A and B are shown apart, each in its own frame.
Chain A
Amino acid sequence: MRAQTMAYFDQLIPSGMVMAKEAKEQGRNVVGYYCVFSPIELIEAAGAVPVGLCATKQEPIAEAEKVLPRNLCPLVKSSYGFAVSGKCPFFHFADIVLAETTCDGKKKMYELLAEHKPMIVLDIPNSSNLEDRQAHWVKQIYRAKDYFEKNLDVKISKEKLAEVIRAYNEERKLLMELVSLNKLHPTPISGTDLLKVLWGRSFQFKRDEYTAKVKELIAELKEMTAKGEGASTSQPSSKRILITGCPTGTGQEKVMQVIEEAGGAIVLQESCSGIKGLVDLVSEEMDPFEALAEKYSKIPCSCSSPNTGRFELLSRLVQEYKVDGVVDITLQACHTYNIESYSIKEHLKKNHNIPLLQIETDYSDADRQQIKLRVDAFLEML
């Protein structure tokens, strides 16, 4: 069955659109962001509302292709198309966009997007073992601080930032508590519903209401599991699937839907649209600016080389969540995740005897049947 509290999360993004408008009408500053590398605590400490920007639907891609090349990752094209076509209300109401130099597609796209909105692009080093990586990140955090202070006409104090860090840590802990309910079998919450809650986190304007609803959801799911009930997509015989790879946000859940329709139970997403940014907290002991640098520099994205953190995280998750098989979703033209897929497959096979299915796809629905064949065969072989 499905938890009733999910009705709130179904409406989260649509109602966020209205609230973005209201926030502007009330004279509040809004800062948009795209990526899990964005130190969003800094935005809130600047008295602004951090909000995710649209990037996960097929619809605006045709518009983007008037400017961007066709053989580019759909996420980059969708981000740009949404922004320039005016179809993303969050972009429309944002005063500033906080961006980062992650993959090549994104950083070149940001050059074009900067013509449409004031933007700060944090410089993220590609080498994960760069000697002065922490110092470099601290500089970037201060660059963002200075930019917000100047452009939003505010002061960001250490005390305020420390307070926001604590609040966001509490939110992360709460979301991980929700995710960890899926250690149970059958899983109490479907992969697509879990995505809705985690993805929705970037589009909510009332943090207290959101966290209260997450608590309510946890309580409801606990009641369900006490009665031995699982999510409608999860049966005792269901194979337990972990999703990794490129972000899979709301609007591009195709692969996850196919898996769940075929009877697979999606336990969790390791991807940045899942728990990648939630598992580690920001230190509350360190200087808050340095603590932000430390936390965000360690996010195990395939843009970093080598990306050992992802291998370690996956090793931990497949054991803790008793995973039967891993599905790696690669968006077309995402070179870093595409190449890394081979190493992840070998790693999981060698160390955990867990098979990996790589699905390379885009946002269109054209390949649904081909994906279904691969998923059916994969579930049958587990």
Chain B
Amino acid sequence: MKWTVGIDIGSVSTKAVLFNGEQVDSKIIPTGWSPSQAGQEVLERLLKPQGLTRDDISLLVGTGYGRIQQGMFDKTFSEITCHARGVHYLLPEACGLIDIGGQDSKVIGFGEKGKVEDFVLNDKCAAGTGRFLQVTAQTLGLEVSQLSALAEDADPADINSMCAVFAESEIIGLLAQGITVESIVAGLLKSIAKRISVMAGKIHFQDTVAFCGGVAQNQVLKDLLSQEIGCRLAVPPSPQAVGALGAAILGYEL
């Protein structure tokens, strides 16, 4: 049996997928301060329950910002290529994907077999990323996981700052005006949806687009985003591990 493993070392979490023609298992752990340690650890946690060792793996493929760890991987691909391949495997009907990650956001358009045709990454700042939500949620004394439920039926407040630091001051101003936390949270999600839809406008999406990354679990954001870009959004199963899955598949196909 041919086994491959894809490991996606991201800024917040490290994801690993075991593949043998099908996805066998996946694991997600926090990256912490050492990307190489996180890579080793997630690999161990993935292989042990299956009774496998590193020697059973014919190709270990790295992606994510931690892919540059010397000597760890047999092969590396950028997370752009891996995300496209992973999404295409899980949702063959999708023509592209939106990934809101910890420190960047990606909008990728792809063609047949999940081959990347064009992509846009957000600029060098937290605008439109998971970090933006984290920082602003903190200002409100909330966890990112609470945001969706809070925002569900709220009327979104107008939040104009794309910059995480300025948005923080804006939130404090809104709180002072007596705007509800629910409205502010809905406003934050709407501002991210707007930011991402500008990026998506540069890629000409047709119909179904996959929505990945940890933030994809946020139902309100998903609906807002779908409205903004005018496409159906589909969230693949375990949306955080799509890049690792793509890496494992690319390795399997080599």
Contacts and interface: CB of A to CB of B under 8 A. Distances in A.
Q: Which of A355, A369, A374, A377 has the most CB of B within 10 A?
A: A377
Interface of B: 65, 77-81, 104, 115-119, 121, 123-124
A380 B118 CA distance: 11
A379 to B, nearest CB: 9
Nearest to A342: B202
B248 to A, nearest CB: 16
A377 B119 contact: yes
Contact of A380 (B65, B80, B121): B80
A377 B81 contact: yes
A352 to B, nearest CB: 15
9 contacts: A369-B65, A370-B104, A370-B121, A373-B80, A376-B81, A377-B79, A377-B81, A380-B80, A380-B81
A170 interface: no
Interface of A: 355, 360, 366-367, 369-370, 373-374, 376-377, 380-381
Contact of A377 (B78, B123, B124): B78
Given A369-B65, A373-B65, A380 B78 contact: yes
A380 B116 contact: yes
Contact of A381 (B65, B79, B116, B121): B116
Contacts of B79: 373, 377
A366 B121 CA distance: 16
Main secondary structure of the interface of A (DSSP, over half): helix
Contacts of A377: 78-81, 116, 119
B124 A381 contact: no
Given A380-B77, A380-B78, A380-B80, A374 B121 contact: yes
B246 to A, nearest CB: 11
A367 B81 CA distance: 20
The 3 closest A-B pairs by CB, nearest first: A377-B80, A376-B78, A381-B116
Contacts, number: 37
A255 B80 CA distance: 19
Given A367-B124, A373-B78, A377-B80, 9 more contacts: A373-B65, A373-B79, A374-B119, A376-B80, A377-B78, A377-B116, A377-B119, A381-B115, A381-B117
Contacts of B123: 360
A340 B117 CA distance: 21
Contacts of A374: 119, 121
Contact of B124 (A366, A376, A380): A366
B118 A373 contact: no
Contacts of A360: 123
B121 A373 contact: yes
B80 A355 contact: no
A353 B77 CA distance: 24
Q: Which of B78, B104, B116 has the most CB of A within 10 A?
A: B78
Contacts of A355: 117-118
A377 B82 CA distance: 9
Contacts of A369: 65
A311 to B, nearest CB: 20
Nearest to A382: B116
Contacts of B77: 376, 380
Nearest to A381: B116
